[in-house]
Amino acid sequence: MQSNQINVDHTQLEFKGMNFTVYSKKGCPYCDKIKAVLSDLSVKKGYPVICYELGTDFTREEFYAEFGQGSTFPQVVMETKHLGGCSDTVKYLAENSLL
């Protein structure tokens, strides 16, 4: 039986500090916005950002298996903590003085 969960090679994420993973899709303005915010954070603080795209890196079924049926794009994970979508991620970053 094949798993529908998104398979991420976490060995590429091993380093000191925080890392962010973005699950996005083409044509999504919120995906573009959070990728820009995290890219800026990556430049300023050196936190790696890995982006995965629907249809290239995972299927919609895998996305729903990972984040729940009806989840929207983007979804952001910091290390192993699910931050949520664009607004939730920006709010989290601001509340934790990361922006």
Asked if residue 91 is part of any domain, the answer here is yes
Asked if residue 59 is part of any domain, the answer here is yes
- CATH number of the domain enclosing 83: 3.40.30.10
Asked if residue 12 is part of any domain, the answer here is no
pLDDT at 99: 82
pLDDT at 94: 93
Asked if residue 35 is part of any domain, the answer here is yes
Distance (Å, whole) CA 6 – CA 66: 6
Asked if residue 13 is part of any domain, the answer here is no
Q: Which domain holds residue 56?
A: 18-95
How many independent structural domains does the chain possess? Answer: 1
pLDDT digits (tens, 9 = 90+) for 45-73: 889 999 999 999 999 999 999 999 999 99
Question: What is the model's pTM?
Answer: 0.81
